[in-house]
Each structure stands twice: as structure tokens, then as C-alpha cells.
Structure 1
């Protein structure tokens, strides 16, 4: 867990798959400058959190809830972290929620991939996230590359395999239960323009950051925070 700022106005930050709390190394201080105590959690099998070879979505939700002692004013989830956040909402009860580059569609009802297939996929993804390979991304800073490579090196494959195999089926999102913003990359591999329109029709605010990648604030922090400020100021 990492914390920036102080006080009772909490912003909870939930990272994506292969990430860690350090993914928010620039967002956390920016939120602290806006008067929040920003708290970034390490999900099971990520960062400093223990591995969980029997992981379930409920376990990931419990990990998120464990780092706050009151409903946060703001909760931000990126990718997998956004999915975990959506499941945590009934118990977390944040004032506002932000979902970063995730379609919020129903998970596939098809049987999950085999453990061997998932293990191979996650192992390859982890191996590919080195500083040298990440440094080819033109917008990423040296610190972005460092924290992502370090997070990947500490990522536990078996935790991710267990989560993926335990989590399938379910219902599509019907609409926001608290004021909610979706921030997508533009173009996005995960949130198509059509899906963005569908989310707007469901009642979500949807904004795009042109030129950004999946980790939207990397290289585009001012744009990302500008979208967040606009939404917060609109009430």
C-alpha cells in the first residue's frame, strides 16, 4: 500500500493486472495536491501483497476494503482494478467512481482457459515487461518503465491463474450506482467507440485521452487529471 497526502477525504486507487500500487506514482501526488489522502492498494499476488493460489474475486474485493476505514470520497480502478472496484461498490460505498480503460461489459460465460494456457500467457506477459522493452513506448517516463517492470517482476502467476479460472459468467453493467466516470484511451483496445456510446446511454460520463495507451495517465497525466477535474467540477 502507498499513501500520498493526509486527511479524511480519501481517494482509493486500485491497479490493474501485473501492476501494483506504484502504478499511481504520479496520480497519487496529483490527488494529494487536490486535497485528497490518496491510498493505493496492492491486490493479492501483486506488489507487497501475499500470493493467493486460491484467489477469487471476493478475495480481491476484501483486499480493497481492507485499506480503508470509511467510504472513500473517490475510488479509481484501472483495468482489472476497475472490475474489482465494480464488485466492491456495495460494501465500499464510494462517493464517486472512476473506471480507467475497461468496457464494463459482462464477463464471458464460456468456460475459462485451462490453467496451463493461462500460466503460459501470464508468464510470457511478465517476462515481456522489462525496463528495456517498456522504454520503447514513446510517452512513458523512465519512472513509468521502472515501476511497471518492478511490479511485473513481483507478480505472482498462480494468483492470476486462480482468479481467471474462478471468475466467469455474470451480468452486464446496467448503469452507475454512484456518479461514475469512464476514462478510455483513444484509440482503445478495450473500450470501442460503440461501447463508449453505450456506456454514456447507461448514464456514465465517458471521456477519452487522445494518444494515450492502456495505462492512460502514463505520458498524459495532465490530460488525465484534466478529465477528472472537469467531471468533479461538473458535480
Structure 2
């Protein structure tokens, strides 16, 4: 599957951004300019069933990871310096790294669940995503996410319009998957986090993964605590 990729900047280093569930390449609208200023050429990807990318109700985690790798291959050059994935995008990054589809110099996982239980009922989960999609209007986001700026609400409402629940639900109907973030990678998590609890964070740290907390942040860490998010990644933002 050829995914939609937005390219920004002409820096000598390459960064790839993978948004979370129901988002799009526009979810990074505040992050992209800082990366460009820091010398990156930025590739912001629309995941399968999101944004302007194709739909496929038979999608799997492995195929989604392969689609990412194949879609950015022509734009990456010989070295991939940075890949940043949020939530579901982080899971797909971990899958791509685990199978050597992507070999970034630095992986950044933002509040990422590295394990999924699988076995979801397709119709039930699709209906749940349909309900979430209907709720993610500008007014709905304004009311449910007071930490969103006006522009955050605009881009996330637009992403919801393009979001395909059937594609998103498909990977969860298969077997559960589990990946370990690679040593030297960075996890930036909300604290408390519904996806990376303290026990999980300690286990990752024991394996050489760097875990940094943003206290009080929402799941979309950079939306609620942008300055703290940037400060948590001095290796990235210069």
C-alpha cells in the first residue's frame, strides 16, 4: 500500500513522523516547523485508513509497518536519522524496527502501547471507532479536550472526517502482538500513563531504553504540554 507522505524542509537529516489512531499528518503541525528549524527534512505519514492514505479492511500490523517502510523509501536517502511515533504510530514503528524494515538512528515512542491483546470482535470495534469518529467534530473536541488549541481542534476534526474505522479495527481482530523498544530509543510518556505504567517503564529502563516523563500530560503529550515535550527531547530539538 502506497501511503500519503507530506514532505517538509530541506535539511541534511531525515525525520519521519507517525501519528496516532484517528489522527493524520496534520497532527504534527506544531512539531514539524521545529524539526525543520533543527535541520531535518521531515516526512509526515498518513497511516493506512487515515488522512489521504488508502483504506483496507484486511490490514495487519505487519502490513501497515511494511507500507510505512515502502512509502518513505524513495524520500529517505541512505540514512534515516529519526522516527517519532505516537501511540498506534509508535506500535507500528516498533514493529518496523523489530523486523528491520526501519533502522533509524533514533526512535522516539510517545505514550506507546507496545502490546496489544488482539481478538477483538470486528463489528463491535468498528462500531466503537465509528462512534468516536462522529464525536470528533470541532465542537466535540473543544468540549472534550480543553487542552486543545483552536488549530488542534481544526486538524483533528479534519482527520476524523478522513478516518476509516474498518481499516483501523482490522489489525486488532487478529492475534495480539508485542514488541520491545530497542535499547537507546526514547519513550516520552504522560505521567500517569494509561499505556506505559511505572512497572513497564522500569522494565524498559532496565533494557537500556530512555524513559522520560511529562507529569500531567494528556495521551497526545505535545498537544497538552508542548514546551515540556520539546524539553524532554534535547537530542531532537536544537
Distance 1:172 1:84, change over 3 A: closer
Secondary structure at the aligned position of 1:92 is classed as: coil
Structure 2 unaligned spans of 5+: none
Match of residue 44 from structure 2: 40
TM (norm. structure 2) is 0.88
Partner of 2:104: 94
For 1:224, the equivalent position in structure 2 comes to 229
The whole-number CA distance in structure 2 between the counterparts of 1:51 and 1:107 is: 21
Counterpart in 2 of 1:176? 182
Deviations 1:150-209 (A, max 9, x none): 11111011111222213x234452x515x2000001222221122222211121100111
Counterpart contact for 1:107–1:172, Cα < 8 Å: no
1:107 is aligned, of 108, 116, 126, to: 116
Do 1:129 and 1:152's aligned partners in 2 also have CA atoms closer than 8 Å?
yes
Aligned-pair CA distance for 1:232: 5.2
Aligned pairs, how many?
Answer: 226
Query: What does residue 188 of structure 1 align with?
Result: 193
Question: Which residue is 1:123 aligned to?
Answer: 130
Pairing 1:207–2:217 present: no
Contact 2:66 2:101 in 1 (8 A): no
State the alpha-carbon separation in 2 of the partners of residues 203 and 126 from structure 1.
38
Structure-2 separation of matches of 1:208 and 1:12: 22
Q: TM-score, normalised by structure 1?
A: 0.89
Of residues 188, 197, 205 in structure 1, which corresponds to 2:202?
197
Is the Cα–Cα contact under 8 Å of residues 103 and 195 in structure 1 kept in the other structure?
A: no
CA contact (8 A) 2:83 2:104 kept: yes
- Tell me what 2:141 maps to: 134
Q: Is the 8 A contact 2:133 2:161 kept in 1?
A: yes
Q: How much has 1:31 moved relative to structure 2?
A: 0.8
Q: CA deviation at 1:22?
A: 0.7
- From 141, 150, 155, the equivalent of 1:147 is 155
* Aligned equivalent of 1:162: 170
How far apart, in 2, do the equivalents of 1:218 and 1:183 lie? Answer: 13
Deviation at 1:101, TM superposition (A): 0.3
Call closer, same or farther: CA 1:172–1:6 in 2, change over 3 Å.
closer
Cα deviation for residue 135 of structure 1 reads 1.1
The residue number in structure 2 matching 1:77 is 85
CA contact (8 A) 2:91 2:113 kept: no
Tell me which residue corresponds to 2:18: 14
